[in-house]
């Protein structure tokens, strides 16, 4: 087979390695180099770095609107295009170029959590299950029929970063299974997505990171997990702005105003919520690094009287 791979972030790297295992990837498409780091110099995407390591040609068009960009892809004569977190919308004229169309590895159990941030939205919503779908792409946003899927359980304290890494590896496994079938001359049977159960995983916004203490503690704990490592939940507490890296919900009744620091101890900072109590275990002060609640209290011992 002649495979063209399109992807950009770390999530796509295991899938690229799986697709390239038999030397069939003839080109890799990825986003143009972007400014990064303190010097804001142009930096290649994780997918580009691995493609160069593997000796695969790299293409970085701004988009696929021009006839030249489509002609370049067509000249590669791809049997299949594999798309994983590429970051560009592919028009129908591009989807039609590969002989077997375009496959997408999506980090949710479709039709739940179509869109940009399925991993974080699943945790934020309190889902107990997630997974990966290998989907045949069509013009709609993650609406194509599913070829293969695999599910996994979300851990009670699993963060967005941890689930990201597990789904990334699971995606590579599902893609490898699909490619294995195609090599054997077996095209996975496309299963149309059901019309019921559709939800959209909208792109994460840094403005969502501020915790609203009037909400239930369970919902806030899920938000903290979902937003770790980015954008990281934050709050105003004990007279300073804190970023919250780890917290758990306690099923405790209280009559305090939401946002009140109820107790402070080595096990955590207990804050009143609309329902229950949020125990903050790991936090970060402005300009500092993530520390335990115990380390924070070493500098703020007056809070131990709370």
Same-domain pairing of 7 and 109: yes
Same domain, 48 and 122: yes
Tell me the C-alpha distance between 244 and 101, whole Å: 43
110 is in an annotated binding site: yes
Instruction: Clarify whether residues 289 and 173 are in a common domain.
Output: no
**CATH code: domain of residue 243:** 3.10.25.10
Question: Does one domain contain both 93 and 181?
Answer: yes
Are 303 and 261 in contact, with CB atoms under 8 Å apart? Answer: yes
Entry pTM: 0.95
- What CATH number is associated with residue 101? 3.40.50.170
Same domain, 46 and 172: yes
* 177 and 105 inside one domain: yes
- On whether both 147 and 252 belong to a single domain, the answer is no
* Distance separating alpha carbons of residues 220 and 209, to the nearest angstrom: 10
Residue 109 assigned ligand-binding role: yes
pLDDT in tens, the chain (306 residues): 999 999 999 999 999 999 999 999 999 999 999 988 777 789 999 999 999 999 999 999 999 989 999 999 999 999 999 999 999 989 999 999 999 999 999 999 999 999 999 999 999 999 999 999 999 999 889 999 999 999 999 999 999 999 999 999 999 999 999 999 999 999 899 999 999 999 999 999 999 999 999 999 999 999 999 999 999 999 999 999 999 999 999 999 999 999 999 999 999 999 999 999 999 999 999 999 999 999 999 999 988 865
Rounded Cα gap, residues 247 and 293, in angstroms: 10
User: Which residue segment(s) compose the domain that 253 sits in?
Assistant: 206-305
The 3-state secondary structure of 92-133, one letter per residue: HHHHCCCCCCEEEEECCCCCCCEECCHHHHHHHCCCCEEEEE
* Count of the separate structural domains present in the chain: 2
Asked whether residue 143 falls in the same domain as residue 262, the answer is no
Answer yes or no: is 111 a known binding residue.
yes
Tell me whether residue 134 is annotated as binding: no
- My answer on whether 18 and 48 are in the same domain is yes
């Amino acid at each position: 087979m002649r495979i063209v791979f399109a992807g950009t972030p770390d999530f796509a790297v295991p899938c690229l390695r799986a697709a390239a295992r038999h030397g069939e990837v003839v080109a890799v498409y990825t986003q143009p180099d972007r400014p990064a780091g303190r010097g804001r110099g142009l930096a290649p995407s994780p997918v580009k770095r691995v493609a160069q390591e593997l000796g695969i040609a790299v293409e970085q068009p701004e988009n696929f609107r021009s006839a030249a960009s489509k002609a370049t892809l067509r000249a590669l004569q791809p049997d299949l295009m594999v798309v994983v977190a590429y970051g560009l919308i592919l028009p129908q004229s591009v989807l039609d170029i590969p002989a077997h169309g375009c496959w997408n590895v999506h980090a949710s159990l479709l039709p739940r959590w179509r869109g940009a941030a399925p991993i974080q939205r699943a945790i934020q919503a309190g889902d107990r299950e997630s997974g990966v779908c290998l989907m045949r792409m069509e013009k709609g946003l993650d609406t194509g029929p599913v070829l293969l899927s695999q599910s996994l359980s979300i851990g009670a304290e699993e963060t967005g970063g941890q689930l990201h890494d597990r789904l990334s590896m699971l995606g590579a496994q599902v893609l490898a299974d699909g490619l294995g079938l195609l090599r054997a001359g077996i095209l996975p049977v496309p299963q149309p997505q059901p019309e019921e159960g559709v939800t959209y995983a909208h792109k994460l916004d840094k403005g969502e990171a501020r915790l609203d203490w009037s909400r239930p503690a369970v919902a806030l704990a899920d938000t903290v997990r979902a937003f770790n490592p980015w954008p990281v939940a934050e709050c105003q507490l004990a007279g300073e702005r804190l970023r919250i890296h780890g917290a758990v919900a306690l099923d405790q009744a209280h009559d305090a105003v939401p946002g009140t620091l109820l107790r402070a101890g080595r096990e955590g900072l207990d804050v009143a919520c609309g329902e229950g109590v949020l125990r903050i275990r790991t936090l970060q002060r402005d300009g500092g690094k993530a520390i335990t609640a115990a380390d924070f209290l070493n500098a703020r011992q007056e809070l131990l009287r709370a």
